Amino acid sequence: MPNETTKGLLMVYTGDGKGKTTAALGMCVRAVGYDWPVCLIQFIKGSWKYGELKGLKRLEPNVELHVIGEGFVGIVDDNKSFEVHRSAAQAGVKLALEKISSAKYPLVILDELNVAYTLGLVTQDEFEQVLAARIETQHLVVTGRGAPEWLIERADLVTEMREIKHPYQKGILAQKGVDW
């Protein structure tokens, strides 16, 4: 864990612009520079593509990635019931609680947890349990659009990634190395 003078921060990357998960990946690079073990839990399966997953391998064994969830929720080809998604999210919460309270990781990243919460897959009570498990010197990062007000209230650092301009506005498709 970080030395005793470290004050762990609760950080939130939210908003509808690109850069939230990308910044979380960047935090992994920085943490690895300190030889910290990092636990990264991805709450929405399928939101990460080949490039990210492969690139992260270069940061192993420091960065430990856990992909939970059952893929996108409510999208056209989503034929799973709410209960299936909900129980996957619950497994994610359980894992997050275990990992955070193990106190082994100076940095824990909960990718797209805000989205899982907004979709009703994670309850406020569960979300708060996860936050409460954090020890004083541990940094916790929560990403995803739609961060709830009570989370922003509680956080030490909140950045809203605001979309000023997006390639789809020009009719440009998702691009390798940027979107996947």
Smallest separation (angstroms) from a second copy to the CB of 93: 24
How far is the C-alpha of 134 from the C-alpha of 85, rounded, in Å?
Answer: 25
Q: For a second copy, give the closer residue by CB, 9 or 84.
A: 9
Q: Which helix (H) or strand (E) holds 55?
A: helix 50-56
How far is the C-alpha of 52 from the C-alpha of 132, rounded, in Å?
Answer: 29
Residue of 79, 107, 127, 145 that binds a second copy (CB under 8 A): 107
Q: Which helix (H) or strand (E) holds 61?
A: none
Closest to 178 in 3D by CA, of 55, 29, 59: 55
Report if residue 120 touches a second copy, rule: CB under 8 A. no
Q: For a second copy, give the closer residue by CB, 20 or 85.
A: 20
Looking up tokens 């979300």 gives 127
Q: Binding marks (x or -) toward a second copy, 155..174, rule CB under 8 A? A: xxxxxxxxxxxxx--x-xx-
Name residues contacting a second copy, limited to 29-48 (CB under 8 A).
29-34, 36
Smallest separation (angstroms) from a second copy to the CB of 88: 25
Q: Binding marks (x or -) toward a second copy, 51..70, rule CB under 8 A? A: xxxxxxxxx-----------
Q: For a second copy, give the closer residue by CB, 97 or 158.
A: 158
Asked if 82 contacts 59 with a C-beta cutoff of 8 angstroms, the reply is no
Torsion of CA 139, 145, 148, 149, to 10 degrees: 90
Strand ranges (E), 22-152: 38-42, 63-67, 107-111, 139-143
Chain residues in the site for a second copy (CB under 8 A): 2-3, 6-9, 11-15, 17-34, 36, 50-59, 106-107, 139, 152, 155-167, 170, 172-173, 175-178
